[in-house]
A and B are shown apart, each in its own frame.
Chain A
Amino acid sequence: MKPLALTVNGTPTSAPVEPRTSLADFLREALRLTGTNVGCEHGVCGACTLLIDGAPARACITLAVACDGADVRTIEGLDDDPLAAALRAAFTAEHALQCGYCTPGMLMTARDIVTRLPDATEPRVREELAGNLCRCTGYVGIVRAILRVLAERRGAR
């Protein structure tokens, strides 16, 4: 076991961790933050996407022990985030989820698209979503939800 000290959703946290434990398993099993879903466990499906030091990352192929000193934000940590709230509302309005398994990762990626690419159009949104798999919706609702929030923010600029 190795000592690990990091900040999760604004709260300083420390715990001993086995080096082989992924950040996703650490969050789910040690901290009981089960909003970060585990799908493919090799970085392809995007269900475990969260923010490390403000940047989107895969929690399934990031070792928890490598996050010593990091600032991690999971879907639970975006409850009071205004942009995440706008995205949740748009996902509801556009039927951008069915089973919900991909949704935490989708919201993380959506948030990254909206903040990093404020002028993104549909082809770019689709390209950026290539790393988040959804087997329910066919993506149409998800793309519309993200475009809706992009348009709202452009309107407010």
Chain B
Amino acid sequence: MKAPRFDYVKPRSLQAALRLLADAGDGARIIAGGQSLGPILNFRLAQPQLLIDVRGIPELREVRDEGAAVFFGAGTTHAEIEDGRLPDPARGMLGHVARGIAYRAIRTRGTLGGSLAHADPAADWVSVMPLLGAEIVVVGANGERTIAAASFVRGLLTTALDRTEIVVGVRVPKCSPRARWSYYKFNRKPGEFALAIAALVHDPDRGQARAVIGAIGAAPHVVAEASALADRFDPAAADAAVAAAGLPAGSFERQIHLVALRRAAAGWH
């Protein structure tokens, strides 16, 4: 189908974008690469009155090493992360995950901030950023604030963003040199939205063993203390994790997430 009718503006500064967003009421949507919003506009699932294109805003394109973390501007594309030209605070995990997002022709335009703001539960960054303990930096009418990635996505296509706020970037803490990670997702075809995601990070020097169960139709389930999945693989702990993720006993969804978790635990990087 074709997108419904809407107006379009492309502000050159963050201040101008925020003003437009504050003035527009509920009918405005932010667009960057448009790789999530484009399809739902064409399906007419989204029918905004105004699109505010933030691709021309320099602040959203910044990437900087902050010492203990790397800050990625919201407009960083998946392809830029895939190509390894940016620092990878997660010892190669970000590049690995980026390569598996949709298709190259999507990754060249789709952005980190856009994917998080869209909040499809099956999207890769939606699971990975809580796993890594990242923070989402947002700015709005009441100034800037930082939201833990684990509490940013609230549910299906729902985030902690206020109506007047824009995602500015993502701050990803650096893993220590001994850290290991693992990422497994089920797709029937490479690049489609995941049926199940399981991800692990084990960073002994920072005392962290964390797991995420994602693509569960809601915000991902974070297992903050996952030594029983990371140090060794305890099947009972895995069962408990998929149960705590809210996946019904005996369901296909529970089984496929359990297998994803088992495979993640067998495929460390």
**A residues in contact (CB < 8 Å) with B:** 2, 18-20, 22, 25, 41-44, 46, 49, 52, 55-58, 60-63, 65-66, 68, 108-109, 112, 116, 127-128, 130-132
Contact = CB atoms under 8 A, between A and B. Distances in A.
A46 to B, nearest CB: 7
Contacts of A52: 108-109
A41 B42 contact: yes
B84 interface: no
A66 B6 contact: no
A131 B2 contact: no
B42 A42 contact: yes
A55 B53 contact: no
A87 B2 CA distance: 32
B104 A61 contact: no
Nearest to B77: A55
B39 interface: yes
B42 A61 contact: yes
Given A55-B108, A130-B103, A130-B189, A61 B5 contact: no
Given A43-B38, A63-B8, A131 B55 contact: no
Interface residues of B, number: 32
A46 B103 contact: yes
A112 B104 contact: yes
A66 B1 contact: no
A109 B191 CA distance: 14
Given A2-B8, A130-B189, A130-B191, A62 B38 contact: yes
B106 interface: yes
A47 B106 CA distance: 13
A55 B103 CA distance: 12
Give the secondary structure class of B's interface.
loop
Contacts of B53: 66
Contact of A63 (B5, B38, B103, B189): B38
A128 B39 contact: no
B109 A62 contact: yes
B5 A18 contact: yes
A19 B1 CA distance: 15
Nearest to B2: A20
A51 B5 CA distance: 26
Contacts of A128: 103-104
A43 B2 contact: no
B146 interface: no
Given A20-B3, A22-B3, A131-B102, 16 more contacts: A42-B42, A43-B106, A57-B109, A58-B35, A60-B42, A62-B109, A63-B31, A63-B34, A65-B8, A66-B34, A66-B55, A109-B105, A112-B104, A130-B103, A130-B190, A131-B106
Shortest 6 CB-CB contacts between residues of A and residues of B: A131-B103, A61-B38, A19-B8, A42-B39, A130-B190, A56-B105
Contacts of A56: 104-105, 108
Contacts of A62: 34, 38, 109
A66 B5 contact: no
A49 B31 CA distance: 20
A127 B190 contact: yes
Contacts of A131: 102-106, 191
B265 interface: no
B27 interface: no
B10 interface: yes
A109 B104 CA distance: 8
Contacts of A44: 192
A9 to B, nearest CB: 18
A43 B102 contact: yes
Contacts of A130: 103, 189-191
A52 B33 CA distance: 12
A20 to B, nearest CB: 4
A46 B105 contact: yes
B42 A19 contact: no
